[in-house]
Amino acid sequence: MTLISELFALLIFPGFVFLFVAALTFEWIDRRVIARLQGRVGPAWYQPLADFIKLMAKEDVLPSGANKVAAAALPMVALAAVMTAGLYVPVAGRAASYFEGDLIVVLFLLSLPSLAYFLAGWISVGVYSVIGGNRSLLQYFSYEVPFLMALTGPAIFSGTWSITDIVLRQSQTTWTLFVQPLGFLLALVGLIGKLKRDPLDIPKAKSEVIAGPLTEFSGRKLALWHLTMDMQTVVGIFLLVNTFLGGYSFGAALPSVFVFAIKALLVLLALSAASVLYARLRIDQLANLGWRILVPLALVQIAFVIWAGG
């Protein structure tokens, strides 16, 4: 690839600008759908952008015991990890780069924001931040294991560890969803936990720990954190669409961008509906759910895939 096309892929599509626009758009759609499901109007289209600009312009304060260098570095590390992960996830068939094993790299990069989130709570010395950080670490172990196990299913089924090749294989055979519906469900629940959306927004439960690890952040740092969470939503949804829903393939001859967008929006709608339907779980109930129900189901799913494939 030439320098121009590489820079284009890095900065514009599917790089920074596209991820930024997609993050804000997905946040708006999510908030609007949740509002309509609750009988409210919901924000206008420019609300997430206005929130971002407003936060960037606000004053940046930290409590006196907090580690200033770490507080400045953590949101940038998290944002960089998510954006790098986004480069390897193909959007309508086009990824900035791909190689055998990039699924593993993407999953690793997507877990970095969670660890940065916990560290953010640890270094800001407030009570709410520390408790939120502890909860986020507990939650991380409860959902990450079934999520990873669910995502190895499509890789084993397609016989390759590169996301672009998984999409290619699905366009030749069938969507992984039809072969592993249980895996898709587990991946959805894992994604809800990873994105800390309702009903698994335990680390940042507003009525218990105010804002969890991000309580003491403000101004630009908080803007970057929110952008990281939004981009994580986008990359997570795209990952699920590519591994389970066949990416851009449909069978009929429809434009791939259109098909991909529809699938991504359907997954987003499922996430919004899930956040409206249920009450927030307690952390011990989530640990129960994760280890007693989700992990055994994931094991069953993987065993089935290996037995069926072999």
Does residue number 282 form part of the binding site for another protein (CB under 8 A)? Answer: yes
Which tokens sit at 281? 């779980």
- By CB under 8 A, tell whether 127 contacts another protein: yes
In the region spanning residues 172 to 201, those forming contacts with another protein, defined by CB under 8 A, are: 198-199, 201
Of residues 61, 257, 258, 284, which one binds another protein by CB under 8 A? 284
Shortest distance in whole angstroms from residue 33 CB to another protein: 8
Cβ 284 to another protein, closest distance in Å?
7
Does 276 bind another protein (CB under 8 A)? Our answer is yes
* Beta carbon nearer to another protein, 14 or 132: 132
Question: Which of positions 30-49 make contact with another protein (CB under 8 A)?
Answer: 34-42
Applying CB under 8 A, among 3, 279, 307, 310 the residue interacting with another protein is: 279
Binding another protein (rule: CB under 8 A), the pick from 31, 94, 220, 280 is 280
Could you give the CA distance from residue 295 to residue 18 in angstroms, rounded to a whole number?
35
Answer whether 163's CB lies under 8 Å from 89's CB. Answer: yes
Give residues with Cβ within 8 angstroms of 280, minimum separation 6.
Answer: 198, 199, 200, 201, 202, 205
Q: How far is the CB of 32 from another protein (least distance, A)?
A: 11
Residue 285 engages another protein in binding (rule: CB under 8 A): yes
Residue 206 makes contact with another protein by CB under 8 A: yes
Residue in 21, 53, 76, 273 binding another protein, rule: CB under 8 A: 273
Going from the C-alpha of 109 to that of each of 5, 83, 102, 119, 266, the distances in angstroms are: 24, 9, 10, 16, 25
Among residues 103, 93, 110, 94, which one has the least CA distance to residue 6? 94
Nearest approach, Cβ of residue 39 and another protein (Å) = 4
Task: Write down the least CB distance from residue 282 to another protein, Å.
Answer: 4
Residue 225 in tokens: 């954190």
Among 11, 44, 278, 303, binds another protein (CB under 8 A): 278
* Rounded Cα–Cα distance for residues 85 and 74 (Å): 17
Applying CB under 8 A, the span of 112-120, 141-149, 239-247, 274-282 interacting with another protein comes to 274-282
Closest to 114 measured CA to CA, from 88, 77, 72: 77
Q: What are phi and psi of 72, to 5 degrees?
A: -80, -35
Give the residue, chosen from 2, 69, 207, 253, that forms a contact with another protein under the rule CB under 8 A: 207
Contacts of 125 (CB under 8 A, 6+ apart): 63, 65, 66
Half-sphere exposure of 49 (CA within 13 A, CB side): 7
> Contact at 8 Å (CB) between 253 and 284?
no
Choose, by CB under 8 A, the member of 156, 210, 261, 270 that binds another protein. Answer: 210
Q: How far is CA 293 from CA 89, 153, 273, in A?
A: 29, 17, 22
Instruction: Return the DSSP state at 290.
Output: I
Instruction: Please tell me whether residue 131 binds another protein under the rule CB under 8 A.
Output: yes
Residues near another protein, by CB under 8 A = 34-42, 127-128, 130-131, 134, 198-199, 201-202, 205-210, 273, 276-285
